[in-house]
A = this chain, B = another copy of it.
Amino acid sequence: MTDLENSLATIIDVFHKHAEKEGDKHKLKKSELKDLINDELPNLVGQVKDQATMDSLMESLDSDGDSECDFQEFMTFITMVAVCCHEFFEHHEDE
């Protein structure tokens, strides 16, 4: 497996590790998504403490309206984080 392939495997593994904790093991509920962000993205996203932020994040990701975050919806979140990081590096590099 290449570095890029291992990276995709890591994203899938991290999703499952958190999704299987409670309820539907193929979906993240809001508390699982919050723990995932706080545990797995502390440097890129930072700690999410307030409920309003989580409510609004889940609402923006939950495209099928079941109040949970499935893998496809999780990839939307990963894309948001990656695009933000990429823009930061790109602007930094152009300076």
Contact = CB atoms under 8 A, between A and B. Distances in A.
A79 B70 CA distance: 13
Interface of chain A, main secondary structure? helix
Contacts of A43: 1-2, 5
B41 A2 contact: yes
Interface in A1-39: 1-12, 14-15, 26, 39
Contacts of A15: 86
Interface of A: 1-12, 14-15, 26, 39-44, 71-72, 75-76, 78-79, 81-83, 85-86, 89-90
26 contacts: A2-B39, A2-B41, A2-B43, A3-B40, A4-B14, A4-B41, A5-B40, A5-B41, A6-B7, A6-B10, A7-B7, A7-B8, A7-B10, A8-B78, A8-B82, A8-B85, A11-B82, A12-B82, A15-B86, A71-B83, A71-B90, A72-B79, A75-B79, A75-B82, A75-B83, A78-B79
